[in-house]
Amino acid sequence: EAGVTQFPSHSVIEKGQTVTLRCDPISGHDNLYWYRRVMGKEIKFLLHFVKESKQDESGMPNNRFLAERTGGTYSTLKVQPAELEDSGVYFCASSQTGGGYEQYFGPGTRLTVT
Amino acid sequence: AQSVSQHNHHVILSEAASLELGCNYSYGGTVNLFWYVQYPGQHLQLLLKYFSGDPLVKGIKGFEAEFIKSKFSFNLRKPSVQWSDTAEYFCAVGSYNQGGKLIFGQGTELSVKP
């Protein structure tokens, strides 16, 4: 069984540019979560999809961040325009229906905004 | 607000030493508790979890954790560490009522000297 995959593994962009991160969850997992870890800080929740619906986006920092999950499969997280403070590692995780099941994490995308 | 606190930022041990990593959480309802580990260059993976029942839970690779409700604690232990346990360890709290999103502690880097 393939795990959670994320693309790209690393992205370096300039302030003001746009970046789109992609996450492919484990097949059949309805729940998809995005998290972010800024250097030196804890991993923080960004948002939660159940299938294609946003269940909870309380952790999204501001309206420069847009997440989608068309068709309930893969998800994208777009940052537009990127700011220096957006640098960090963006993790995606997926889990089976039920909310309390184990979340399987992807390898993360390291975003560097210069 | 929910929060998770890990007592140690960086722990250095010699092989065969015993390990205990502290974790305290703040949450008003029923919680699920997790320890995740990230080995160098690898994904976050689940070490162990507590949902209900026996407060002493056993995980992979000889790790265990004890849930003490009265102390809001979920400390991770291992009687004898190995060099291969060098990694970053994360305590996390989740709740069915919150859609399963995880609140993470700051992480503890464990370095085991051979």
DSSP string, A36-65: EE-TTS-EEEEEEEETTEEEE-TT--STTE
Interval B23-42 mean pLDDT = 91
Residue A75's nearest CA partner among A91, A57, A56, A52 is: A52
pLDDT tens-digit series, residues A45-82: 999 999 999 999 999 999 999 999 988 899 999 999 99
CA angle B2, B8, A41 (to 5 degrees): 55
Indicate which of A9, A24, A41, A42 best probes the interface with B, i.e. most B CBs within 10 Å of its own CB.
A42
Interval B51-64 mean pLDDT = 94
User: Does the pLDDT value for residue A99 go beyond 90?
Assistant: no
A35 to chain B: which residues are within 8 Å by CB?
102, 104
Residues in chain A: 114
Inspect the interface and report whether the beta carbons of B104 and A43 lie closer than 8 Å.
yes
Q: What percent of chain B has pLDDT over 90?
A: 81
Interval A94-103 mean pLDDT = 78
Pairs of residues, one from chain A and one from chain B, whose beta carbons lie less than 8 Å apart = 61
Q: What percent of chain A has pLDDT over 90?
A: 88
Instruction: Please report which confidence band the pLDDT of residue A1 belongs to, taking 50, 70 and 90 as the band edges.
Output: low
Chain A nearest-CA distance from B35, in A, is 11
Q: Rounded distance, CA A10 to CA B26, Å?
A: 34
Interval B13-42 mean pLDDT = 93
Indicate which of A46, A103, A104 best probes the interface with B, i.e. most B CBs within 10 Å of its own CB.
A103
Which residue of chain A comes nearest to B43, CA vs CA?
A: A107
